[in-house]
A and B are shown apart, each in its own frame.
Chain A
Amino acid sequence: MSGPVGEAAPVEVLDCRGQRCPLPVIKLARRLPELPVGAVLRVLADDPAAAVDIPAWCRMRGQEFVAAHDEGPGYDVRRAG
């Protein structure tokens, strides 16, 4: 699946493939606050739990989950604040 037209391209890709949850979420939580507000970070993670846990982390932390991509699989997160 791909995101909507006009979706911001990720400024950075975090490759967490081969890592088991919660590691991809921890890497995301470390890196996203270092990016400017509005920037999109793509997390590549092949642990199936990431598909659940990255959107859940965004909800708990008030960050914006933008889209999931089959390739990677990848998860785009925008720093909302």
Chain B
Amino acid sequence: MSASPVYLDAATAAPPHPVARQALLAALDDGWADPARLYGQARRARQLLDAAREAAAATLGVRADELSFTPSGTAAAHSAVLGGLAGRRRVGATLVHSAIEHSAVLHAAQRHVAGGGSAVSVPVDRLGRLDLDAFADAVRAPGVALAALIGASHEVGTVQPVAPAAAACAAAGVPLYVDAAQLVGRVPVPAGWSVLTASAHKWGGPPGVGLLVVRKGTRWESPWPADERESGRTPGVVNLPAVVAAAASLRAAAADAAAEAARLAPLVDRIRARVAAEVPDVEVVGDPVDRLPHMVTFSCLYVDGEALLHALDRHGFAVSSGSSCTSSTLRPSHVLEAMGVLSHGNVRVSLHRETTVADVERFLAELPGIVAALRAEAGVVGL
């Protein structure tokens, strides 16, 4: 407990990139005016916004007018789903999505269903990988307005077959929305999507900035009350200093992404191997090979997830969990449920640019004792 805290929850929010901090402070002084107005301060703000958009679009390999900034990744996901459905309501009212989408996507789907639409959830296998044949069958059905596939599971890290799913969607004439929150700034985004979203605080940008990208030619219609800002895709004045910081840190993160992936993937391999070997009765979940480079998830039999998070926190480790006792709804993670893997005693560890070998080693050294102590306390040793 005297050792410095180790933050291992980058998949929730990565620590701010130094570039983000510098850009944010500079833009606070220079980018406070409303970019839509016709005076000098506004023109300066407009220049900053345009430059941020150009930079983010260039990093993603899209046109600047295809990219809008939103007030969060969640708002972007809601816009992607509801706008994609609204734009194709003449075709039908069915949303096809994987069973392991982020809750923001599922909540938008619930809203759609409550409004009279329908949603088809496509299962995943034990490793958390989409059933591609079932997905292709589902998008071929009549009346499908939009398909949604997360680029890689935000809970277990399994990379999804986006390119073949996009091909199946293209063959059926259905636009594909990809939630790329865990990809952007870390790994290349596969081609073939029509709508894409991301979230700045996942790559080291500030919280409160999302990206919504709608490719040219996609039938997408804003589900929000009319507002001319951000190409009419998201209402309200953007938080310009945060947007500038998001764009600057995205460029920096993307420039380092390949090197960071190469550095972090072996650390994740080490965690996967050592946790499986040194913690009894543990299930390391997610695809061991086709996975994100920075994330690993495991479940400890007979251990209460909330107790485990608190114990890890007392030892200075910040991680997250998909266990039901750690969720506000007291339901287990829908991702672990869809995979059919153990949901209690669940821990997700996600690494970032500040994570060191020493951090990982300290976590691996202390975890077996922490789990053993909780099991001894619960009287479940030897079960």
Contact = CB atoms under 8 A, between A and B. Distances in A.
B343 A21 contact: yes
A49 interface: yes
A48 to B, nearest CB: 5
A52 B336 contact: yes
A55 B344 CA distance: 13
B332 A22 contact: no
A49 B383 contact: no
Contacts of A30: 383
A51 B341 CA distance: 10
Contacts of B283: 56, 60
B51 interface: no
Contacts of A56: 283, 340-343
Contact of A52 (B281, B342, B383): B342
Nearest to B337: A52
B363 interface: no
A18 to B, nearest CB: 13
Interface stretch (B63-71, B149-157, B185-193, B300-308): B300-308
Contact of A21 (B281, B340, B344, B378): B344
A47 interface: yes
A59 to B, nearest CB: 8
Nearest to B327: A49
Interface in B270-284: 281, 283
A73 B80 CA distance: 37
B301 A49 contact: no
Interface string A54-69: 0111001000000000
B331 interface: yes
Interface residues of A, number: 17
Contacts of B330: 20, 47-48
Which of B281, B301, B378 has the largest count of A CB atoms less than 10 A from its CB?
Answer: B301
Interface in A29-77: 29-30, 47-49, 51-53, 55-57, 60
Contacts of B378: 26
Contact of B324 (A26, A48, A57): A48
Contacts, number: 64
B324 A60 contact: no
A49 B324 contact: yes
B345 interface: yes
Nearest to B336: A52
B347 to A, nearest CB: 14
A66 B333 CA distance: 24
Contact of B304 (A22, A48, A52): A22
A52 B332 contact: yes
Contacts of B383: 26, 29-30
Which of B283, B301, B324, B342 has the largest count of A CB atoms less than 10 A from its CB?
Answer: B342
Contacts of B344: 21-22, 25, 49, 53
A56 B341 CA distance: 6
Given A48-B324, A56-B283, A22 B302 contact: yes
Given A26-B380, A49-B344, A52-B340, A21 B301 contact: no
A21 to B, nearest CB: 5
A22 B303 contact: yes
Contacts of A52: 332, 336-337, 340-343
A72 B112 CA distance: 32
Contacts of A57: 301, 342
A25 B324 contact: no
B302 A53 contact: no
Contacts of A53: 332, 342-344
Which of B302, B337, B344 has the largest count of A CB atoms less than 10 A from its CB?
Answer: B344
A52 B340 CA distance: 6
**Which 9 A-B pairs give the minimum distances between C-beta atoms?**
A56-B342, A22-B344, A49-B332, A49-B324, A29-B383, A21-B344, A52-B343, A52-B337, A49-B343
